[in-house]
Chains A and B, each alone.
Chain A
Amino acid sequence: MIAVLPADCDEGLLAELCLLLEGRGWTGEVSRGEEQTVLVVSGPESLSDLEVVLDGRVDADVLPIGDARFYERRRRNRRRMHGLVGGLAILVALGLGLPVLSYLRAPDSVFAAYEFVPVTSFDRLQEHSAQLVRVHSRLVLVVRLEGERLFALSAECTYMEDCQLEWSRERQQIVCPCHGGVYDLYGNVVEGPPSIPLTSFDVDVVGSDIRVRRGV
């Protein structure tokens, strides 16, 4: 234990305190500083016993000091805490780093989007009709007018992407059943709430196959 006493503590009083401590089987060592005097007490007694000895004799603050096992425990706890924090830091770094690494690898659809994909054929797509197809996870409306006049446009309304567009044979336009948006075959907004035109896709014909790719 350490007792912190005033810097101007009387020498006689200090000697008396040391004697009292030795009488109880303890040892006391005095260290004088500029700001305070420190009395280091070693012995088997408790904090309250020392306070009883000092009480009334001098204005002192007693700081408890644990035994060797106590400090060993604290050191062990500190090491465990360092390990825990380090482990958590590694987990956080992995948790953020792995998604970033996987993000850096471009998905196949990025490159495949620039290649023509066969989606339907003239046998299945009659004149003045449309067919809904999927190109790299995107819904595309392929419209056939007369002969080989073909158009391919995104089938998702730009006003609200969850709304799936439909081909209107009567109007010869693409309409949205949700909010009444209407687009022409080039993707331009004709009427209704949308403000952004539809994305158009390139169309290619090989034999009777109709192929589509993302517009370049």
Chain B
Amino acid sequence: MIAREEGLFSAVWSVLRKPVPPGFRSYLAFGWMIMLLFVLQIVTGILLSLYYEPKPNAAGESVQLIMRDVSSGWLIRGLHHWSSTGIVVLALLQLLRVFVAGSFRRSPTSWYLGCLLLLFVFAQAFTGSILPWDNQAFWWATGAVEAIESVPYVGPTLVSFLNGGPEVTDHTLSRAHALHVMVFPWVGLVAVGLNVWLLARQWSRQREVQQ
């Protein structure tokens, strides 16, 4: 059957009608979607850091400034907030897929790296939620710190490292900020880079086998 349509809509329609390649599955896009959101996190994070002040008596105020006074501040903070939620959901779905499909057997290193990245994603979400330093952030930090403290053996040490002491204080904010901005992003970048390198190596091997 030869198409006879004319015009712009027919051009769009002919693209939409194109059959999807046989090997394509929606869940294969999870990894790339996480990468895209990760880049968005870095860009919006840098933009937010232009106005955010990590001081206990100014943090809440600076977040309010971003939301109320800075042009499109609500958009930048919203993108940062919601893309982090998106990463958590997609990272869980991705690991679940790899686990259920048994793909971890093909590249165990990539699987362990993925688990490490999930921990990193949780750590980033946790430290990021403390930064507004409002009442909600304070109680969220208190609850999370108590949960971490209950981890056998390492819990109390981790908590004293996070808080700089036994309780949630102003130091918790400084440490959360340092981890969120200066430590975890680099850990994430290295882990993502390693994962992409491992996958690229695996794909090139598969291609060689196919040829």
Chain A positions near chain B (C-beta within 8 angstroms): 64, 66, 70, 73, 76-78, 80-81, 84, 99-100, 102-107, 109-110, 136-138, 154, 158-161, 193-197, 199-200, 214-215
Decide yes or no whether B38 CB sits under 8 A from chain A.
no
Q: In the complex, what distance in Å separates the CA atom of A194 from the CA atom of B6?
A: 66
Q: Are B134 and A158 in contact (CB under 8 A)?
A: yes
Note all chain B residues with C-beta closer than 8 A to A214.
61
Return A187 CB to nearest CB of chain B, in Å: 8
- The answer to whether the Cβ of B57 comes within 8 Å of any Cβ in the partner chain is yes
Chain A residue numbers with a CB within 8 Å of B15 are 81
Cβ-defined contact, B8 with A105, below 8 A: no
Tell whether, in the assembled complex, residue B65 and residue A66 are in contact, meaning their CB atoms are under 8 Å apart.
Answer: no
Q: How far is the CB of B28 from chain A (nearest CB, A)?
A: 22
Measured between alpha carbons, how far is A110 from B76 in the docked complex, in Å?
A: 18
- Is the C-beta of B154 less than 8 angstroms from some C-beta in chain A? no
Residues of chain B with a CB closer than 8 A to A73's CB? 3-4, 6
List the interface of chain B (C-beta within 8 A of A).
2-4, 6, 8, 10-12, 14-15, 47, 50-51, 57-58, 60-61, 64-65, 68-73, 75-76, 133-135, 138-139
Q: Which residues of chain A are within 8 angstroms of B11 by Cβ–Cβ distance? A: 76-78, 80-81, 84
Contacts of A199 in B (CB 8 A): 57-58, 60-61
How many residue pairs link A and B with beta carbons under 8 A? The number is 82
26 contacts between A and B (CB under 8 A): A73-B4, A73-B6, A76-B11, A77-B11, A81-B15, A84-B12, A99-B72, A100-B47, A100-B76, A103-B71, A104-B47, A104-B50, A106-B50, A106-B51, A106-B70, A107-B69, A107-B70, A109-B65, A110-B65, A110-B69, A136-B69, A158-B60, A161-B134, A193-B135, A195-B139, A199-B61
A77 to B14, CA, bound (A): 9
Are A196 and B60 touching (Cβ within 8 A)? yes
Residue of B nearest to A199 (CB): B61
A159 touches B72 (CB 8 A): no
CA distance A81 to B47 in the complex (A): 34
A19 to chain B, nearest CB (A): 28
The answer to whether B8 and A158 have CB atoms under 8 Å apart is no
Task: Give the Cβ gap from A179 to chain B, nearest Cβ, in Å.
Answer: 10
Instruction: Determine which of B8, B76, B133 lies in contact with A103 in the assembled complex, contact meaning CB atoms within 8 Å.
Output: B76
